[in-house]
Amino acid sequence: MARQPLAARRAEELLGAAVVATAPVAGGDIATATRLRLSSGQTALMKTLPHAPEGFFEAEAHGLRWLSGIEGGVPVPEVLAAASDCVILAWVEPGSKTPVEAAVAFGHQLATTHAAGADGWGLDHDGFIGRLPMPNRTAGSWAEFYAVRRVLPYLKLARDRGAITDADAASVEAVVGRLGDLLPDEAPARLHGDLWNGNCLWGQDQRIHVIDPAAYGGHREVDLAMLHLFGLTHLPRVVAAYSEVHPLADDWEDRLGVHQLFPLLVHACMFGGGYGARAGSVASRYA
């Protein structure tokens, strides 16, 4: 690895340790990722973003620490430092996506993290999902929170950006009016919040580590709905193992589409109208 002076100097300021080498890391959609080799022999990942929104990296660090505090919960990278312009994490060496044992362990760990719970719906501060601000102010029920903090803000933004048609938006709004009947209340779970395949890092240590959280207290079916929306290797094994620790309601799969409206609308806002059409199609099944 060569040494990128600017990244190395900033990391040294935050870590109080010398950086002996750096290398770019491919794959990030939002931030620039750099691998660091420290004088201690430790390897770290530094994520930077010019003109990052206020609180952007601090929210990521808070989410990782919040998820990491559960014994037997999902593995997350250790936060080594966080500031307004970057976050530095312990490096997780990627490995194979084939071990069934890793998927089974992940199901148990995700259930344990969810079961640890949260103080209420949302969080005591707002966060981000991707580049988009994510409101977290609490509400009186999951159905209310999901409507006013997850679906409607991104439906409005998708409309403003021309990423959803009036007809598809009307289908989503019709489902919002029925959320009180469609979504059962249960105790708030400790959610990753953006749990798609790309945020599940299969490590060389034979464990699945979760990265890039949009963490908050919410209904546990949201994390599972996102895994089903974008897929995960050995997902049936993950769900079966999850249910051994924290059994799901018999009809939870019937609500997958309802809980997929949020990520579909977020993706419509970020990537365009194909996702808006998918949100409308999914909503039409429940309206």
Q: H-type helices in 91-234, by residue range? A: 100-116, 142-145, 152-160, 166-176, 179-182, 221-230
Question: What's the whole-model pTM score?
Answer: 0.95
pLDDT of res. 55:
96
Which pLDDT score is estimated for 59?
A: 97
DSSP at 86: E
Q: Residue 287 has what pLDDT?
A: 79
Q: Which of residues 49 and 27 earns the better pLDDT score?
A: 49
d(CA 176, CA 258): 9
Residue 117 — pLDDT band, cuts 50, 70, 90?
Answer: very high
Percent of the chain whose predicted confidence (pLDDT) is above 90: 92
Percent of the chain with pLDDT over 70: 99
Say what the pLDDT of residue 3 is.
59
Catalytic residues: 194
Average pLDDT, the chain: 95
Q: How far apart are CA 128 and CA 130, in angstroms?
A: 6
Letter for the amino acid at 16?
Answer: G
Set out the domains of the chain in order of their start, with CATH numbers: 5-90 (3.30.200.20), 100-284 (3.90.1200.10)
**Mean pLDDT confidence for 30-42:** 94
Q: For residues 60 and 210, is the Cβ–Cβ distance under 8 A?
A: no
Can you tell me the distance from the alpha carbon of 156 to that of 193, in angstroms, rounded to the nearest whole number? Answer: 20
What pLDDT was estimated at residue 97? 81
Q: How high is the pLDDT of residue 47?
A: 97
Classify residue 160 by burial, with Cβ atoms within 10 Å: 0-12, 13-18, 19+. Answer: exposed
Between CA 150 and CA 103 the distance in angstroms is 28
Token pair belonging to 109:
């760990």
The tens digit of pLDDT for each residue in 201-224 reads: 999 999 999 999 999 999 999 999
Which pLDDT does position 30 carry in this prediction? 86
pLDDT at residue number 4 = 73
Residue 156 pLDDT greater than 80, yes or no: yes
Task: Say if CB 263 and CB 235 are below 8 A apart.
Answer: no
pLDDT tens-digit readout, 41-85: 999 999 999 889 999 999 999 999 999 989 999 999 999 999 999
Which pLDDT value is given to residue 1?
54
Whole-number Å distance between alpha carbons of 134 and 21: 35
pLDDT 10s digits, 127-146: 999 999 999 999 999 999 99
| pLDDT on residue 66 | 98
